[in-house]
Structure 1
Amino acid sequence: MTNAAAMRNYGFDILRVIACYMVIQAHAGEFYYIGNGGKITNTLDAYWVGWYNPICIISVPLFVMISGLFLFPVTDIPAFFKKRFSRILVPFVLWCIFYALYYYAKGYVDLNTTLTNIANIPLNYGARIGHLWFVYMLLGIYLFAPIISPWIQTASRKSMEFYLVLWAVTLTIPYIHLVIPDIWGETFWNRTPMLYYFSGFLGYVVLANYIKRYHMEPRPWNYTAGVILIIAGYAITTYGFIHRLDTEKFINKLALTWGFETINVAMMTTGAFLMFKNLKIKNPDSPFTRLLLDIAAKSYGIYLAHILILNAVHSLLDHRFASAAVKIPLMGLCAFILTFIVVKLLSLLPKSKWIVG
């Protein structure tokens, strides 16, 4: 075993692969509760989505935590941006263009709309492919990384805890809004209320680095706390969806407890992070470990490409099974495997890093 292999934290590779799968299964569930115009299809299949998807919601914040863990310190800003943006931005733009052309080839849009979509990529997507929102958010974190890096590296424990406590308060705001529509200076002319600067995905980055600095060593309580946080967060997330399924008509209302910036999703994400951060692999040179690392390394390419494969898998499997209880995990697994194979083949092409990251 090499020194690099001995020092590698395989727990984060495992977590990255799991998160990658979770994204695909979450999107597989969308076929069974989202109707036309964002309306809800309230069927038995939708209830299965309510049981399956809540745990999968943590995939995005997990990606943010894992990425944020390795962002700092930022010492050479031009080199930092060159490395991060070349790996993330170029494949993203190419896939945006591909999806725009795919929509045209399928006859969904005309040529003028296709060219407009491509021109709009600097603003928002190259076509309405919803999962690509994540990349804009991630690029925003990268842009802010050089600014926050000195604080992340030197902040005291109490200073980081002060930030995280206020961030946790902002995670309850979606629920406070159910009772009080505007709080702490929120009005239609003010988009930056009192705790605005403590909110958002940056909290997951700070949380990851707080754990890295003060709780990275394995402790017995990590697993107990992790299980409790996952169970409690899952219960809130699941109950919120299923309970509201009979009363809400549109997705944006129904998916309240699925919000990435809610306290329950943050609980599940933190629990998973604590449980996986110190996992060991006994045989790093085994074929399984090499496959695991290969999937983890290609997780960004899988993320970019999976919608295309998932739609094809749905067309092939949907009519073969009666219940979403079977279809959702089966579609997720098949799409995950097939997308990895496609991305693996693409990675064999010259200059493939510009395609798969």
Structure 2
Amino acid sequence: MSNANVGKKKSKRIFYFDALRALAILSVIIIHVFNKTNALAVMGWGTIPSFRWFVADFNLLAFRIGVVLFLMLSGALSLGREWEIKDFLGRRLPRIVAPFLFWGFFMSLIVIAFSYHFHFHWIKSISIYSVLNFIYNAYLCKSPTFLPYWFFWMILGTYFIMPIFNKWLLHAELKEAEYFLVFWLITCIFDFTLFKPFPIKLIYFTSPIGLVVLGYYLRHTERKLLNNPYFSILLIIVPIICMMAFSYMYSTPHKFYTFDRYSIFGAIEVIGVFTLFKNFGKFNFKPGFLYNPKGILRRFVASLAKCSYGIYLTHLCFIKIASKFLFSSVNYYLLNIILLIVGIFVPLIMLTALNKVPYVNEVIGVK
């Protein structure tokens, strides 16, 4: 199948892409919540781990796909299309740079205010130097609550290389993408799972660009196995079971054993997730609440998808602030539920409201 005509298709909003983006941001929030509360669960490890340990371990492993899904969606939506570098960067860069600068500044002020008023000790003192230094380090992912900002620098570099891959894929056969992805999978095994050097240097095939190409490939592939939703479920379940088994073997009462987001297990799982969402309509059952475009679920999914980048840049600040008040006084399960609600709905409501404000709506990460 030649891909020269892929870019000529009329662009339209595709629901399974919105669903994947919503899952991506939910996965990121789940990971950050359970990372925040894992100290309350990790001690449950033992010959027979506690149920709390299994809950935390499952969430820390199964939902480590958020950033990976964002990368795959970038490839699925942008690669194999007719566009010039200037147009691509002119549209893409403002979408990520403006919200990054906006929220880095304003969320820093919110965090500093809470830290000072409630003595959280996230900032040394309220002086011009300390405040400016905090904001500067927020942009560099070093200030407390701003560690997720590494994603901006990673996706920025990915955007810079994508025009080169786009030109190749625009005129390539899908078999050539498969050739690339075979070597990418090798890097997933050696570089990010075994952490041992492969005899051949394969740095040009490694993630995150490998995931961008994977997203493009999975969107367009017609291979029957990769378009079978039951096979997709298998691709999700098997790696999660494997990761939990290894985690049980190598964890300690002080630390969960987790896998790199680019590991072979994560790669297989995310292939299953992407293809399951793509081919979900092939199941025989079609519940109305999933297919009603005006239903609550689909509207919620659409809202999460549109606000996903803004939520990403703001959610951890709200989670950390809430955890400061609740960590020592609330039951473990209730704490996780509350922090999840805070991490999802506080940014979502804030972004939805700000999206109605002229000019501001252009820099908050809603699209």
Q: TM-score range by the shorter chain?
A: 0.7 to 0.9
Q: For structure 2, list consecutive stretches of 5 or more residues without a partner in the other structure.
A: 1-10, 45-49, 117-121, 282-289
Partner deviation per Cα, 1:287-343 (whole Å, 9 max, x = no partner): 54334322211111111111122224434554554334x533453134312321122
Distance 2:42 2:296 in 1: 43
Residue type at the aligned position of 2:317: L
Partner deviation per Cα, 1:229-268 (whole Å, 9 max, x = no partner): 1111111222233322217x667xx33x2x1110000111
Residue 290 (structure 1) aligns with = 299
| Cα gap change, 1:219 to 1:8, in 2 (>3 Å) | farther
* Displacement after TM superposition at 1:130 (Å): 1.3
* Displacement after TM superposition at 1:80 (Å): 1.4
User: Is the Cα–Cα contact under 8 Å of residues 233 and 265 in structure 1 kept in the other structure?
Assistant: yes
* Displacement after TM superposition at 1:119 (Å): 4.1
Residue type at the aligned position of 1:30: N
| Cα gap change, 1:322 to 1:34, in 2 (>3 Å) | closer
Distance 2:341 2:111 in 1: 25
Distance 1:338 1:245 in 2: 34
Equivalent runs, 1:335-350 vs 2, <5 Å: 335-350=343-358
Equivalent runs, 1:221-300 vs 2, <5 Å: 222-246=228-252, 254-255=257-258, 257=259, 259-279=260-280, 282-286=291-295, 288-300=297-309
Residue 54, structure 1, aligned to residue 61, structure 2 = yes
Residue type at the aligned position of 1:210: Y
Distance 1:285 1:219 in 2: 32
Deviates more, 1:94-103 or 1:78-87: 94-103
Of residues 199, 205, 208, the one that matches 2:206 is 199
Distance 2:218 2:161 in 1: 20
Distance 1:220 1:125 in 2: 37
Residue 47 (structure 2) aligns with = none
Partner deviation per Cα, 1:14-63 (whole Å, 9 max, x = no partner): 2211221121111110122359xxxx953455553212221111111111
Distance 1:61 1:329 in 2: 24
The SS at the match of 2:364 is: helix
Residue 76 (structure 2) aligns with = 69
Residue 302 (structure 1) aligns with = 311
| Cα gap change, 1:95 to 1:241, in 2 (>3 Å) | farther
Distance 2:296 2:42 in 1: 43
- Structure with larger RCO (C-alpha < 8 A, sep 6+): 1
Partner deviation per Cα, 1:61-101 (whole Å, 9 max, x = no partner): 11111122111325222221121111111111222223433
* Displacement after TM superposition at 1:213 (Å): 2.3
Q: Normalising by structure 2, report the TM-score.
A: 0.80
Residue type at the aligned position of 2:277: F
Q: Normalising by structure 1, report the TM-score.
A: 0.82
* Displacement after TM superposition at 1:274 (Å): 0.5
Distance 2:22 2:325 in 1: 25
Partner deviation per Cα, 1:130-162 (whole Å, 9 max, x = no partner): 111112111111111111111121222332111
| Cα gap change, 1:27 to 1:120, in 2 (>3 Å) | closer
Distance 1:162 1:103 in 2: 47
Distance 1:126 1:33 in 2: 21
Equivalent pairs counted in the alignment come to 331
CA RMSD of aligned residues (A): 3.0
User: Is the Cα–Cα contact under 8 Å of residues 318 and 342 in structure 2 kept in the other structure?
Assistant: no
Of residues 318, 331, 343, the one that matches 1:322 is 331
| Cα gap change, 1:12 to 1:165, in 2 (>3 Å) | same
The SS at the match of 1:155 is: coil
Q: For structure 1, list consecutive stretches of 5 or more residues without a partner in the other structure.
A: 1-5, 185-192
Distance 1:220 1:267 in 2: 12
Residue 152, structure 1, aligned to residue 169, structure 2 = yes
User: Is the Cα–Cα contact under 8 Å of residues 96 and 126 in structure 1 kept in the other structure?
Assistant: no
Percent identical residues: 25
Residue type at the aligned position of 1:322: N
